[in-house]
Amino acid sequence: MRPFSILMLTLCALILLAGCGPGKGEIDPTADWSVEKFYLEARAELDKGNYLTAIEYYETLESRFPFGKYATQAQIDVAYAYFKFEEPDSAITALDRFIKLHPRHPTVDYAYYLKGLVNFERGGTILDVIVERDLSEFDRNLLLRAYNDFKLLTQRFPSSDYVTDARKRMIFLRNELARADFAVANYYASLGAWVAVTGRTRFILQNYQGTEVIKSTLELQLTAYQTLGLEQLARDTQRIIALNYEKRS
């Protein structure tokens, strides 16, 4: 399912309310629900995959019972519901709000982790990422945003249960960021923009040591220096390639 806009989500909610909610003269079946009842029903709908109904219940809960543990939990649960409903922007907005309102909450580390996960999976599922999607062809800013979200989690909450998974995702994203920049360098090479190639390859070598594209980056940098007639720089790059790769072949 393609992501709905916030406007479309609102319209869907209105349609749902119009079709299923109390009509004129009818009684609202949730009118007498306690805060506990609201939360349990919202959680049940979330577990069943009825994300739109869960979102409606969580938001109604908070509007009717704005204080207390259930309202606080609803603020982060609704973010997860938005995430599962493929509304990443709404999920991020809800998470930013939770983090701002509850910076010392016991589960705020989860909010940081979920924020990274939303950006990591933006536009597809984790299966798409691993099996089908080449993230290096996507918007580099999305990759960087997810990487920075996970990095913030590891820095602020190094003992969090989510840090191990976050670090694995950071390694994956760092490789994808390097590949994205290498794709740009290759594009510059295809245009004959060799000065731009040297700038981009230097950036990769300075920022992404240990990633999978380093050897290819050095080889492209060597071609750029040779094409530009920068003989000393070409010799230096050739020496680095020889020291690090040729003896291993």
Q: What is the pLDDT of residues 224-238, one digit of tens each?
A: 999 999 999 999 999
pLDDT, average across residues 201-221: 96
What is the reported pLDDT for 152? 96
In contact, 54 and 42? CB cutoff 8 Å:
yes
Q: What CATH code is carried by the domain that includes residue 88?
A: 1.25.40.10
How many domains, in total, are found in the chain? Answer: 1
Q: Does some domain include residue 223?
A: no
| Residue 189 resides in a domain | no
The boundaries of the domain holding residue 69 are 33-98
What's the pLDDT score for residue 123?
44
Contact (Cβ atoms closer than 8 angstroms) between residue 201 and residue 178: no
Q: What is the pLDDT of residue 228?
A: 96
Whether the predicted pLDDT of 131 surpasses 70: no
**pLDDT tens-place string over residues 37-85:** 999 999 999 999 999 999 999 999 999 999 999 999 999 999 999 999 9
Q: Does 248 reside within a domain?
A: no
Q: Phi/psi at 42 (nearest 5 deg)?
A: -65, -45
55 contacts: CB under 8 Å, gap ≥ 6: 9, 13, 78, 81, 82, 85
In a domain, 170, yes or no: no
How large is the greatest C-alpha to C-alpha distance in the chain, in angstroms? 86
User: 136 in a domain, yes or no?
Assistant: no
Q: Establish if 245 belongs to a structural domain.
A: no
pLDDT (average), residues 90-96: 96
91 domain residue, yes or no: yes
In a domain, 149, yes or no: no
Q: With 60 as the cut, is the pLDDT of residue 14 above it?
A: no
Q: What is the residue whose two structure tokens read 């003269």?
A: 25
Place of tokens 């999920």: 91
What pLDDT does residue 232 have? 97
Is residue 91 within 8 A of residue 118, CB to CB? The reply is: yes
Residue 53 or residue 7, greater confidence: 53
**Rounded distance between C-alpha atoms, residue 243 and residue 228, angstroms:** 23
Name the nearest CA neighbour of 225 among 186, 195, 183: 195
Rounded Cα gap, residues 48 and 114, in angstroms: 20
> Which secondary structure element, helix H or strand E, spans residue 29, and what is its range?
none
Percent of the chain with pLDDT over 70: 82
pTM of the model: 0.74
